[in-house]
């Protein structure tokens, strides 16, 4: 399983009055990372709109470790920390790294797939489940029992 990572530049809009990246920007970069992973493998926003399927979150937990500052490069990775057998529920741990390689934060999310028309949880197409299985496994990985 190969790692999927992206590098971003901390923007002016990401800053808080204390001169470091605002707390919610960490979650924004983790969300962008997930969407880019799906999109790069053919599961784009138009695909989700057409099929009436969408990812949702139940929980998001951010641990702040080191400050990030404007114009710094931050590298974001995502590792699977849980998946149900049918792929309907998933957990991912994103790590945001400073330019020197030190972790700046982790963003752990618990999510699922939603049928946007019925407004109910659903099982995604097998191709999406397989794509999720191809994410590298986090050290905390556990199967999600339904």
pLDDT, average across residues 15-28:
96
Rounded to 5°, the CA angle 29-30-32 comes to 60
Name the average pLDDT for the chain. Answer: 96
Q: What is the pLDDT of residues 91-135, one digit of tens each?
A: 999 999 999 999 999 999 999 999 999 999 999 999 999 999 999
Could you tell me the pLDDT band of residue 2, with boundaries at 50, 70 and 90? Answer: low
Which domains are assigned to the chain?
Answer: 5-143 (3.10.129.10)
Which pTM was predicted?
0.95
Considering only CA atoms, which of 58, 68, 56, 86 is closest in space to residue 25?
A: 68
With contact defined as beta carbons under 8 Å apart, do 105 and 62 qualify?
Answer: yes
Could you tell me the pLDDT band of residue 146, with boundaries at 50, 70 and 90? Answer: confident
With contact defined as beta carbons under 8 Å apart, do 117 and 37 qualify?
Answer: no
Q: What is the pLDDT of residues 67-77, one digit of tens each?
A: 999 999 999 99
């Amino acid at each position: 399983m190969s790692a999927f990572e992206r590098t971003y530049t901390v923007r002016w809009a990401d800053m808080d009055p204390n001169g470091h990246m605002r707390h919610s920007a960490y979650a924004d970069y983790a969300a962008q990372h997930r969407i880019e992973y799906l999109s790069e493998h053919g599961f784009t926003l138009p695909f989700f709109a057409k099929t009436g399927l969408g990812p949702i979150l139940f929980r998001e937990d951010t641990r702040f470790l080191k400050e990030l500052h404007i114009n710094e490069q931050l590298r974001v990775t995502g590792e699977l920390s849980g998946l149900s057998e049918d792929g309907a529920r998933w957990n991912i741990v994103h790590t945001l790294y400073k330019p020197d390689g030190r972790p700046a934060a982790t963003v752990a999310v618990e999510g699922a797939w939603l049928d946007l028309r019925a407004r109910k949880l659903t099982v995604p197409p097998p191709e999406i489940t397989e794509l999720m299985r191809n994410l590298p496994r986090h050290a905390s990985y556990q199967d999600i029992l339904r």
